[in-house]
A and B are shown apart, each in its own frame.
Chain A
Amino acid sequence: MLKKLILMGFIFLWVWLSGCATVRPWERESLSDPIMIMDENPIDSGVKQHYLDYREGSVGATGEQSGGCGCG
């Protein structure tokens, strides 16, 4: 039940926020800066996430996609 509530909370928050504001194309100068991009270097992020995934018991929802390895 708690998990469903958390999931619904995320979906509701997203739907609500998506109607909040529209930033026009000419207003995006600030957003084009690399420090505003969430995964500006996905390969670097993926390699870092790789060693975390194999030291901890959780995976997923990081924005990275990867295959398997026998890392222990």
Chain B
Amino acid sequence: MALPANKAGDVGVVNWRAAVWVCIIGFILPLSGQQLPDEELQANFSGYFDNYQVTVIYPNFALTRHLSESTAITGRYLVDLVSAASIRAGTGTTAGGENGEGDDGEFEKPGQSTGGQQADVVTAASGGGEGQIRLSDDVRNEFVLGVTRLIPNGTFALNGLYSKEHDYSSRTIAGTISQDFAEKNTTLQLGFVRSWDKVFPISKTWTRGANVETADATFSQILSTRLLSQFIFSYTKTNGQLADVYRTIKIAGPDSVIEYDPVSPYNRYRRAVSSRIVYRLNPLSSITLGYRYYWDSWDIRSHTISSLYQRHLSRFMTLGVGFRTYFQNEAFFFKSEYAAPEQYMTADSKLDKTYSTQLELKLTVDGGNEDGYLPFIDNDRLQYNFGLNWYRRHTDSPDWFTGLNVLSAVYFNVGIRYKF
């Protein structure tokens, strides 16, 4: 089934008629000796804290059940409770561009500040009056519903996602089809994601769209009884309101500092290739090594190197220690300071020259230990997961709100899985 080549003006990375046919075929193909995802209930409580005064608590739940021998359904709910000093700080407004695109496809023209009371920041007010206790400054709810179907020598999965917060909503459809070859020594998986996002900042009067389309291919290969490998290639096209308008650009004028809305190119084309291997060192331990190279049309290039060592401490307990390092250069239009308004301007530190490191610890405790001291450990359907990550990121330019170059963060997770 050949897909037609993209014509000028085509938005789609993936031909959507072909994608619909894949969905139809995926549901009528006969079965094979494959396995659906396990029926399980998973609950996690995760938290993120950093020195930029951002705290995020995100409990999430997922349930997978089999509808038949060949079909499984998965539901997931996640809530982000965000507490951020940048949100709680005062409000200013900028006169940005009007709705829709500007000339030549640029999405926005620079606007000028109406004269904010606080010169430091422009943020969104999250509502609530004085004296009210708020658990968070922003809440994002995310709902996912998905179905997995067995096909000959593989699986087909389709997921729908809806995410909503006070200034952003996202509707996403994602699908994967996988196929085994060579006595299941080789697996090819193709995936696609399409998001329709809406951006409606509180400090603005407009609503704008942002689109994301992603296609990826994953090749997994068993190389020996002790070595697995995987290669992934992904291509993402995004367009629309890509700039974060809360992070304004301050340019010194003759008499005052003028704040401008950030402006980014309308399109962004993002590509990445990665490779991972898992090697069994001995009956008790393994090591995973990974490398990713990323490049995009905003001239960002990055390298990610990761490793994870896992060891069985006992029949029921497994410890993992991981290390990740990341390097990227800045986007072509990123500057730490703008002397005058330019066609593209940004204060987003994600687009700055950056390097980061992360240390990860994870502990998995499986139930079924009848000799254990804790009563809820003896159920072999249960699994407990604990994770702790330390993350440190350095940017060449200081952060727009805190003025710091180094972000230090801690992430933790406590989770439980119950297999039916």
Contacts and interface: CB of A to CB of B under 8 A. Distances in A.
A and B held together in a complex: yes
Interface of B: 42, 44, 46, 48, 56, 58, 60, 62, 76, 78, 80, 82, 140, 142, 159, 161-163, 165, 167-168, 170-172, 174, 176, 181-186, 191, 193, 195, 197, 199, 210, 212, 214, 216, 218-226, 228-236, 244, 246-247, 270-276, 278, 280, 283, 285-286, 288, 292-296, 300, 302, 304, 310-312, 318, 326, 328, 331, 350-351, 354, 356, 358, 360, 364, 385, 387, 389, 391, 393, 407, 409, 411, 413, 415, 417
A30 B272 contact: no
Contacts, number: 212
Given A3-B295, A56-B356, 15 more contacts: A18-B219, A31-B222, A36-B278, A41-B385, A44-B44, A52-B391, A55-B407, A56-B393, A65-B214, A65-B216, A67-B163, A67-B172, A72-B244, A72-B246, A72-B247
Given A43-B62, A67-B172, A34 B350 contact: no
A1 interface: no
Contacts of A6: 273, 293
A61 B216 contact: yes
Interface in A4-24: 6-7, 10-11, 13-14, 17-18, 20-24
Contacts of A22: 182-183, 185
Contact of A65 (B191, B288, B417): B191
- Which of A43, A51, A62, A70 is packed against the most chain B CB atoms within 10 Å? A70
A17 B221 contact: yes
A69 B182 contact: no
Contact of A63 (B165, B232, B304, B364): B232
Given A18-B182, A69-B140, A35 B62 contact: no
Contact of B389 (A43, A48, A69): A48
Interface of A: 3, 6-7, 10-11, 13-14, 17-18, 20-25, 27-28, 30-31, 33-38, 41, 43-44, 47-48, 51-52, 54-63, 65-72
Contacts of B170: 67-69
A56 to B, nearest CB: 6
Contacts of A31: 222, 225, 228
Main secondary structure, interface of B, reads strand
Given A22-B185, A72-B246, A58 B272 contact: yes
Contact of A51 (B48, B181, B229): B48
